[in-house]
Structure 1
Amino acid sequence: MQIDDADIGGARVRRVFRSGNEMLKSGTMLSADEVLAIPAANRRALREAGFIEIFPRGPVQSVGTDDADSQMHIVHLGGGKYDVIAGKKLNADGPLSKEEAEELATRPLQ
């Protein structure tokens, strides 16, 4: 599935590969900014070879009344685990349960 750059919400690494000096392991979540930092031809090759699964921007929750333009995305990782993304992964300590992800997504960005 082809997704326009403006509609990219992020990506999930499906197969291990090296990006610069960093080894990206299967299951690693990439933010939209990280995906867009990969040159378009390389990004397309990684997607077509099954190294990354690019996903579109998903359902969005506005955060707070003072920050109405901020957006958070809850991304299902499989196995009942979720990440919360707002330009970067907010749950740096690891995947969350659905309830934990929904609670984190309702907190104002700081």
Structure 2
Amino acid sequence: MTTSAGELLATVVARAVADFAGHNAYVRGGSAVHAVATVRWLGELEVPAPLCHVGVSGGELAALRPTTASVTCRRCLRRRGADETTGLAPTEQLTLFPAARAPSAAS
């Protein structure tokens, strides 16, 4: 019995959809929790992805992990229509070039 590549991919997609049903997601290596939506992946196949469309390791399905934690991604919250005053800490502007640190006495 042989299985076509399309059938294998459909099985992978079905599993990913089942894993994310009713869940939010985080991207491996990231700290934000994202809302989940489906996006076109290969051909007509649609897979779970962050609602904000943040990049996920070149489309690697295994880089996205399901979680029951609440969404913390501000872009996902805005796309859902959430108010900016949802209790999240305000965004801080990071400096482009941090001030040079003085050498310590041990140096």
Q: TM-score, normalised by structure 1?
A: 0.30
Q: Say which one has the larger Rg.
A: 2
